Amino acid sequence: MVQYAHTYGVQVLVTLNTLLYEDEYPQAVALAHALYKIGVDALIIQDLHLLDLDLPPIRLHASTQCDNRTPEQVKRLRDMGFKRVVLARELSIEEIRAIHEAVPDIELEAFVHGALCVSYSGRCYISEVLANRSANRGACAQFCRMAYDVLDSQMNEVLDDAGQPIHQRHVLSLQDLDRSAYLQELIEAGVTTFKIEGRLKDADYVTNITAYYREKIDAIIPSFHHSIIRSFVPDPSKTFHRGATDYFLHGRTRPMANWDTPKSTGEHIGEVLEVKGNTLRVRLNKDVVLHNGDGLIMVNGEKANGESIGFSVNGVDGNIIRINKPLTTNPLTSNPLYRNLDVEFTRNLKSERKIPVDIIFRETQDGFELSYRSDLRFMISDFKFQKEPAKNADKALDTIRTQLAKLGDTPYIARNVRVETQPYFIPISTLNQWRREALNGTW
């Protein structure tokens, strides 16, 4: 994986960010050496005792689990030898800027997207206390995603804004982080790296969300190191999505939590007006098109706990949807309808990353020189060849250009092709062989 990533100029950072028991240190140090040996670019760690041990000379990043909230903590980590700190999610833009101004000689990595913990980063102990499963050892039981009753100090029920008792509501379940609108601001505050949370996320989520942020970043800082070929328009609401909050970036913003469900709601597509068994009468938002197999969620506003009900589409006829199971509820008023699986969008989630290369083919005294140059690497080869003038000069030169630019099964895509030679007859099989040898098995 390291070799594959490095071909694209991509770094591989490995998390070794669990708190370790005494008898685990020798194994952790051995793992660090093994990772360094295969070319891993950095380790992300929390357990600072590792610094007292025989680590390899590998770049170190301080995990967000280190509770990186203050300039003093970041300066301390820099002085220990860390090259980058992953900031706590709870920081405001002013706090991030203050850290950068106080410690400008360390890289700052900030979360911009994904699941949020209701407690300060690295300082949640509820899972350890209640289930003997430490979040700082990667075993969080996710108590913040469970349903609770809220009572006051006299054990009386607390009412919500609508006057309903807060009974079995997901009051600790935060919506997902989305700071895509503030990337320029984060860069100007000193952030060097954007972090996307990806715990237990599938390939569809990774493809969609990274494509979304790649487009956002390229609009701010154009990159010439890659060329992306994709068959979809990135949309965060189309894959795992609990709603969105910028959290504390610009002060406390409401709502931060989704009391109705801890699950992925996806995109809001309209309202349910009437339920009759396994059919729904709905009012869909403009331009929403449903497909058989789409996953839907209705939040039943009739119930005090805002119960969410999931089902899938079996057929659509105008504003009538047939679903895969009968529902027993019949809302008196319109209830929100969400789509958390768009099968057509998922089917088209294809993305290919290519490295643009400039190809130069020039004549030498006893043959030819072929080079492939990208912004990341330079590959060059010499080939001896008995030259034979071509009968059709234009066709010969065009054949050379065409064959040397056939890079379909490689990580590369031709940006420019320059042929600096007289027109000679060169068999297509020979040109293909030279192309493969020049690229030297980098695919």
Q: Are residues 215 and 132 in the same domain?
A: yes
∠ Cα 205 207 213 (to 5°): 95
Question: Would residue 246 count as lying in a domain?
Answer: no
Please check whether residue 118 lies inside any domain of the structure. yes
What pLDDT score does 301 carry?
56
Question: Is 260 domain-assigned?
Answer: no
> According to the model, what pLDDT value does residue 80 have?
97
In a domain, 162, yes or no: no
Which of 300, 319, 347 is the endpoint of a domain? 347
Q: Are residues 137 and 229 in the same domain?
A: yes
Contacts by residues 147-152 (CB-CB < 8 Å, ≥ 24 positions apart)? 147/305, 148/172
Give which of 131, 110, 132 is closest to 121, Cα–Cα. 110
Alpha helices in 149-294 (DSSP H): 183-189, 203-220
Which residue, of 328, 347, 366, is where some domain finishes? Answer: 347
Same domain, 229 and 275: no
pLDDT at 409: 85
Residue 159 lies in a domain: no
In a domain, 223, yes or no: yes
101 and 200 together in one domain = yes
The 10s digit of each residue's pLDDT in 270-306 is 999 988 889 999 999 999 999 999 999 987 754 444 5
For 292, the token pair is 């058989």
What values do phi and psi take at 23, rounded to 5?
Answer: -80, 0
Tell me, yes or no, whether 203 and 118 share the same domain. Answer: yes
Residues 22-29: contacts with CB under 8 Å, at least 24 apart? 25/49, 25/50, 25/53, 29/53, 29/54, 29/55
Same domain, 189 and 335: no
Domain identity same for 220 and 277: no
Interatomic CA distance for residues 127 and 379, integer angstroms: 53
pLDDT at 9: 87
Low-confidence ranges of the chain (pLDDT < 70): 224, 301-307, 329-333, 441-443
Spatial separation of the C-alpha atoms in residues 215 and 217, rounded to whole Å? 6
Provide the pLDDT for residue 443.
Answer: 46
Residues 338, 227 share a domain:
no
Helices (H), 292-392: 343-347
**Of 347, 379, 396, which residue sits at a domain end?**
347
402 and 314 within one domain: no
Residue-level pLDDT at 224: 64
CA–CA gap between residue 199 and residue 209 (Å, rounded): 13
pLDDT at 61: 98
Could you tell me the CATH number of the domain that includes residue 279? Answer: 2.40.10.170
Residue 163 lies in a domain: no
Let me know whether 343 and 361 are in one domain: no
Residue 21 CA neighbour count, 13 Å, CB half: 4
Q: Do 15 and 48 belong together in one domain?
A: yes
Measured in whole angstroms, the distance separating CA 124 from the mean position of its chain's CA atoms is 24
The domain in which residue 343 lies consists of 266-347
Question: In terms of domains, do 414 and 278 share one?
Answer: no
Domain count, the chain: 3
Residue 194, H or E segment? strand 193-196
Q: Would you say residue 88 lies in a domain? A: yes
